[in-house]
Amino acid sequence: MYKVNEIFQTIQGEGHFTGVPSVFIRLQVCPVGCAWCDTKQTWQALAQDQVSFGDIIIKQVDSPTWCLASVDEIISQYQSLGFTAKHIVITGGEPCLYNLLPLTQAFEKMGCQCQIETSGTSEIICSDNTWVTVSPKIAMKGKLPVLTSAMQRANEIKHPVATQKDIDQLDALLTATNCQAKSGIALQPISQKPRATELCMQVCIERNWRLSIQTHKYLNIA
């Protein structure tokens, strides 16, 4: 069973799949504690916030409400809502607190491609074909280490950056985990701050890395 905060169809706004029509499945609970997190409503799963799946699919604003749902129920809702996107983004919260193998396999049987967006602080259990985006959260409030296994499983590493310290921490992590993402490394300016954006652009040009802009925020879409 999965604790689902919301499920909706939109355009993927960041990383390797920027611009791809996607169905987002946002799972509840995250112990990482990023100060800049824009989904803090997913951090806890309080009993008083539990609702039905019917309430979740009509949700219009961010809230901490969540429902318990099985793989079959999630697939059924995807079908009944008439979603056309075949790219499934499983995010959070921290989605890798859950065993995602049954969910990713079920979507793949329907001809969908799955992507997981994770902090890298939990073991990643999913299908072999799932695209794993690790956005390593280093030295956050929750004091959870970024796992070597997560870094080495990553198809892409998408690192949030505010200052040079964030670049230095990423360099140290890449060295410590002996990691080079299969499709490269992207730097993502935190909150579209101009100084952070300029720094990311400079480093990406110097290292032939990729710049990840949160396009959905500029477009003012979910």
Long-range (24+ apart) CB contacts under 8 A made by 198-201 are 199/161, 199/163, 199/164, 199/167, 200/161
For residue 179, what pLDDT is reported? 82
* 103-116: pLDDT as tens digits: 999 999 999 999 99
Pairing of strands 185-189, 156-161: parallel
For residue 139, what pLDDT is reported? 85
Q: What is the domain count for the chain? A: 1
* 74-89: pLDDT as tens digits: 999 999 999 999 999 9
For residue 216, what pLDDT is reported? 63
* Token pair listed for 132: 């794993």
pTM for the predicted model, two decimal places: 0.93
For residue 186, what pLDDT is reported? 94
Q: Does 12 count as an annotated binding residue? A: yes
Contact (Cβ atoms closer than 8 angstroms) between residue 148 and residue 124: no
Distance CA 112, CA 128 (A): 14
Tell me how far CA of residue 32 lies from CA of 43, 45, 97, 102, 117, in angstroms.
Answer: 8, 14, 11, 24, 14
Q: Does 137 count as an annotated binding residue? A: yes
Tell me the CATH number at 92.
3.20.20.70
For residue 131, what pLDDT is reported? 97
Q: Does 136 count as an annotated binding residue? A: yes
Q: Which domain holds residue 196?
A: 2-219
Q: Does 30 count as an annotated binding residue? A: yes
Contact (Cβ atoms closer than 8 angstroms) between residue 59 and residue 148: no
- Which segments of the chain have a pLDDT < 50? none
Q: Write the single-letter amino acid at 221.
A: I
Q: Does 55 count as an annotated binding residue? A: no
